[in-house]
Amino acid sequence: MANFTPGRNATPEKSQPIKVSNQFDLRAIDKSIYLQLVVLIGVAVLIAVILYIGLRFWQEREARGQFATGEAQTDSQTEDFSQIQQQASLDQQRKNDIATINSALKTFYLKEKKAPDSLKELVPDLLKKLPTDPATKKEYGYNPAQDKQSWQLSATLSNGTKFEVKGP
């Protein structure tokens, strides 16, 4: 370093350029980084393309296999679905009928202060026609309490379980 005394206008001495023996060329580093980046992106794109083609091939093979074996199953599956749908429809009709009858029973109870002895007492004043089971055409189960202050309505569903409603 040059001699420097505080308080004096110091002018830096002309220095000679520093020479570094192992100096790197920044442009060469940039080129190698860019080259590595391009190679990396190229490899990633190539892997993505190979995976995409493999996935599409596998999907088509699976789809062809399902269609080849699926035709025989489709008929039985359609029949099963149709049967399940029909049973669900019948069960829903039974539940709707029970709700309709129970509503008529509540109206009868409010007017008469007692439950009827039989469901036939609801016709024709509260119900035009007494609903029956859509499959068996039998009347739904009706059990009034001995004191006629409550009742129980029931229907047997397609799976054999009982659907019950108690009133009032």
Instruction: Kindly give the confidence (pLDDT) of every residue in the chain, 168 residues in length, as a single tens digit, with 9 standing for 90 and above.
Output: 555 555 555 555 555 655 555 565 556 667 788 888 899 999 999 999 999 999 999 988 888 776 555 555 566 777 888 888 999 999 999 999 999 999 999 999 999 999 999 999 999 899 999 999 999 999 999 999 999 999 999 999 999 999 999 988
CATH class of 84-168: alpha beta
pLDDT value at residue 60:
87
CB of 127 closer than 8 Å to CB of 120: no
Classified as helix, coil or strand, 10 is coil
Alpha helices in the chain (DSSP H): 26-112
Tokens representing residue 130 in the block: 């007494």
CA–CA separation, 74 and 66 (whole Å): 11
DSSP state, 22? T
pLDDT value at residue 110:
94
What angle (nearest 5°) sits at the alpha carbon of residue 121, between those of residues 112 and 152?
A: 80
Greatest alpha-carbon span in the chain = 126
Tokens representing residue 86 in the block: 């029909």
- The pTM of the whole model exceeds 0.75: no
CB of 137 closer than 8 Å to CB of 160: no
CA–CA separation, 164 and 75 (whole Å): 36
